[in-house]
Amino acid sequence: MSKLDSQIEDYLRFSQVERGLSNNTITAYRQDLTEFLDFLNEEDFNTWPTEATDIDAFLARQKDLNKATSSISRMISSLRKFYQWLARQNIQKLNPMIEIDPPKKEKRLPVALTQDEVERLLTQPDTSKKLGLRDRAILETLYATGMRVSELINLTQSNLHSDLRLVKVLGKGSKERLIPISPIALDWINKYEQEVRDPLVLEKNKYVEYIFLNSRGNILTRQAIWQIIKRYCQLAGINKDVTPHTLRHTFATHLLENGADLRVVQEILGHSDISTTQIYTNLTQKHILQVYNETHPRV
């Protein structure tokens, strides 16, 4: 075992015994430091590098191997902690990691459904059954308003202003906002309330204010909504990774694709910063390019 190998082992023992780190964390550290040492051996290093350019060369190798940004970030963190330990042990005082910045996080575009996929999803619940009728009302409400799941499950009778076609929600930071809601969604909510919810409330005599309830008359959970959406996506043959938040993304994307003003969408979604809403413009730009390619006679 080389001197550098021994120092890695000493560091891992310190991390486990003195710092009490988990076995999984120690395994991750070992993997990162072993890869670093393999690189150093290939480059004929006999000591730990003291130049940031040498660290950059190692990280560039990781990128060439198509390592994910998250993996490279973790590796930088592992090396940073290791070099701090080297300095504390008086093994090496020069620390090149102070000049190394973590890679910028990749911005992943949110998944959105096409209008055809939305139509297929909405028509999956069997509305001749009580739960099917409730589920249709839930899906229609999420797509019609773009509200968060937490906002949906906390909707009460007093939040719904059917005559004005508005719904009041309590968003993040306890901020209230009014959202337009479509007549179609209101019709499904009304049908669900008359045929399913109201008789259930009379029977159970609890949660009389909340709109969406489970079969036992209790408030629905976020997990229940997630399961509902997953089940109907599967029935609709939608293979995308769809979550309850996907309908919120889809709502915003479709509004912008059809000409809605970004500030209006920001207000409806309840985003405090418009930069959060602007991520949806990337999705609509893809749509614009697709339409251009499909319709321009010279493309």
Active site residues: 148, 172, 245, 248, 271, 280
Distance CA 131, CA 135 (A): 6
The count of other CB atoms within 10 Å of the CB of residue 272 is 11
Give 220's DSSP letter: P
Question: Are 10 and 82 a contacting pair, CB within 8 Å?
Answer: no
**In this structure, is the dihedral angle defined by the CA atoms of residues 142, 106, 172 and 168, taken in order, positive or negative?**
negative
Identify the bridge partners of residue 161 per DSSP, sorted by sequence position.
166
Q: Structure tokens of 213? A: 């309830």
Name the burial class of residue 125, with classes exposed (0-12), middle (13-18) and buried (19+) by CB atoms within 10 angstroms of its CB: buried
Report which residue type is found at 184. Answer: I
Distance CA 203, CA 199 (A): 6
Distance CA 116, CA 110 (A): 18
Q: Structure tokens of 290? A: 């697709």
Report which residue type is found at 197. Answer: R
Distance CA 65, CA 222 (A): 39
Taking alpha carbons only, the member of 252, 254, 256, 228 closest to residue 242 is: 228
Taking alpha carbons only, the member of 134, 96, 127, 105 closest to residue 228 is: 134
